[in-house]
Structure 1
């Protein structure tokens, strides 16, 4: 019996020793140009726990996301942060991004943004520094569908911009 316990302990120890918990820090931003509406529509998906950690550090140490709390205050913080960390230039002109709102889906927060009055796009540049100030290994994936062309960027702190020319 003692040998069986020792064997189980050694087996469990060996299995646990080679199992490591690794946390990935990533956001995904989908950008689509809807020519008929002359609109650039943006959906940014961010892990709730990562964004909550950021909001607690920056704005309010007691804030909790996705619990039905004071969503108006949370929306103001989300809007302020995203508009500070995300810049989009179209045809070499910095554009005003409008925060539409957000919703939660389990552990993901979907943030909706828009740029209106875009007649055509000849060049597109994005800077996305979301969560770079909190996580050293943060990656921001940007997927675009502009002028019927799909392109994906992986932005990191050292390379936080992506550029497309059409």
Structure 2
């Protein structure tokens, strides 16, 4: 009986910790950034995934305007904010040189926001450096998981606040 009670209490605690309603915050502050080298198109394809509630919170805090990433009526307005935020908090160097990113757009996927960017005219890569401060101005326990992919080689790391960068050599 004691074992059953312990299991029930444990199950309840796990459920309580990981339930994600608008009122209950998730226990982890994490974002992911993936950079894929597309040798055919000579581009770096960048995608970021951020919890939508955290992302909306930082957009409201910084830009002081109504923010609702899931509202189709506000899509154009949200594109402006998302682009401004990401281009200010994510920098990439390819082969030791800063590159400029083109904002493609964003989409909501369950409780996360996926943001897409592209870097053109990259004929080859030997090094890729990511500098990320995504959500650093909101959380001091923020973690950024970074993946850099070239062909079948995948290099990954986590960047823990206050650290900002990761470099992969190919």
Unaligned runs of 5+ in 2: 18-25
The counterpart of 2:42, out of the listed 38, 63, 78, is 38
Cα deviation code 1:62-114 (max 9, x no counterpart)? 32221223111110110001001111111110000111001111211110001
Residue 150 of structure 1 aligns with which residue?
A: 154
> Which has the larger displacement, 18-27 or 121-130?
18-27
Give 1:59 deviation, angstroms.
Answer: 1.0
Larger Rg: 1
Query: Could you tell me how far apart the structure 2 residues matched to 1:118 and 1:147 are?
Result: 14
* 1:147 to partner: Cα distance: 4.6
The answer to whether the Cα contact below 8 Å between 2:68 and 2:74 also exists between their aligned partners in 1 is no
Q: Which residue of 1 aligns with 2:85?
A: 81
TM-score by length of 1: 0.85
After TM superposition, where is structure 1 displaced by more than 6 Å over at least 4 residues in a row?
none
Contact 2:148 2:168 in 1 (8 A): no
C-alpha distance in 2, partners of 1:56/1:82? 14
Distance of 1:157 and 1:69 partners within structure 2: 35
TM-score (norm 2): 0.83
Cα distance in 1 between the residues matched to 2:119 and 2:128: 12
RMSD: 1.9
Please tell me whether the aligned partners of residues 55 and 63 of structure 1 are also in contact (alpha carbons under 8 angstroms): yes
